Homo-oligomer: A and B are copies of this chain.
């Protein structure tokens, strides 16, 4: 059977064969093996974090990653930025009839690998098949469960003079997907930044008890995420353009296509708002971690410009950085 057919979603023999020979075999763990309608796990008293995300990226394989690893990283990161240690994922696939089984196998292997690297287990799953043309090859939903170990993260904890730190260069995921999809060669190949950030974030959280808030700048990019933070905190944010890390490849792609890297999606970057006295400690912790080598302090929280984000540009001007309005074309997420 080298193509996925409607029978693989029917609930019958073909579906059981696919789930047993691929999903359960590859993602094997004690909970999944029970094949119950719900997974069950034991927990101590405390606070549990819960998140969900659907992944609909085109193309499903891009430089530096694919929809499978992306789905694991995205949900791991959503838990991590909330101060939780990611533990368990669910995996729900919507597959287009006719997908090559080899492609599905590659994606499941990528999920397995990403989950292993992030230290999480896939314990619940679902597989649906829709007719040709009723989805774009494969859509993936991952929901995630983690245990909160760092309390008090909130936009309401943010104070003027707090430092704004980003863990690496902007927009590499967006440019990677774009270049593959549109067949554009920007000279240097840009690899997606898609990565599991739980290890890096734990290092930062160990380094400081004064991290106020974290978020990963995915859809809408840094600009949109910072606008949400400024709006929620009631303070302003002042950025320094010269300090914002943007790789040559991303800069080149943006110049060619008229994009602003501040609005491009990242899938392996985190933003930290920290007390000013702890900014250097956090920065050092990030730089010592696998995916934080490019971390930079890029600005600070201000008591003025309430709810707004401003950037001092390289030419010395002051520019309002608004939330993404309408749609930045072409779409990434």
Q: Which of B5, B12, B45, B54 touches A44 (beta carbons < 8 Å)?
A: B45
Residue of B at shortest CB range from A214?
Answer: B37
Q: How many copies of this kind of chain does the complex include?
A: 2
Q: Does the CB pair A47–B40 fall under 8 Å?
A: yes
User: Nearest Cβ distance between residue A226 and chain B, in whole angstroms?
Assistant: 12
Contacts of A84 in B (CB 8 A): 38, 40
List CB contacts (< 8 Å) of A1-34 with chain B: 5-7, 9-16
A205 within 8 A of B: no
Q: Do A82 and B52 touch (CB < 8 A)?
A: no
Partner of A7, one of B7, B91, B327: B327
Once the chains bind, are A82 and B36 in contact (CB under 8 Å)? yes
Question: Are B46 and A5 in touch, CB under 8 angstroms?
Answer: no
Residue from the list B44, B125, B139 in contact with A94, Cβ < 8 A = B139
Q: Do A11 and B324 form a contact, CB below 8 Å, given A52-B90, A90-B51?
A: yes
Tell me if A188 is interfacial: C-beta within 8 Å of chain B. no
In the bound assembly, the distance between CA atoms of A11 and B88 in angstroms comes to 26
Once the chains are docked, how many angstroms separate the CA of A309 from the CA of B283? Answer: 63
Restricting to A255-281, which residues have a CB under 8 Å from any CB of B?
265
Bitwise, A44-60 to B at CB < 8 A (1) or not (0) is 11111111111010000
Please state if B143 and A38 are interface contacts (CB–CB under 8 Å).
no
- Given A54-B92, A139-B135, decide whether A326 and B48 contact each other with a Cβ distance below 8 A: no
Compute how far the CA of A53 lies from the CA of B224 in the bound complex, rounded to whole angstroms.
30
Q: Is the CB of B148 within 8 A of A145?
A: no
Contacts of A91 in B (CB 8 A): 52
A126-134, A163-171, A246-254, A291-299: which lies at the B interface?
A126-134
Report if A328 contacts B (CB, 8 A).
yes
Report chain B residues within 8 Å CB of A212.
none
Which A-B residue pairs are the 7 nearest by beta carbons? Answer: A11-B219, A11-B220, A12-B324, A52-B90, A143-B143, A38-B51, A38-B49
Chain A residues close to B by CB (< 8 Å): 5-7, 9-16, 36-54, 56, 78-79, 81-82, 84, 88, 90-94, 123-126, 128, 130, 133-136, 139, 141, 143-146, 148, 215-216, 218-221, 224, 265, 323-328, 331, 333
What are 27 A-to-B residue pairs whose CB atoms are below 8 Å?
A6-B327, A6-B331, A7-B326, A9-B333, A10-B219, A11-B220, A11-B333, A37-B81, A38-B51, A38-B81, A38-B144, A39-B49, A41-B47, A42-B46, A42-B48, A44-B45, A50-B88, A50-B90, A50-B124, A51-B124, A52-B92, A52-B125, A52-B141, A54-B92, A56-B130, A124-B143, A141-B141
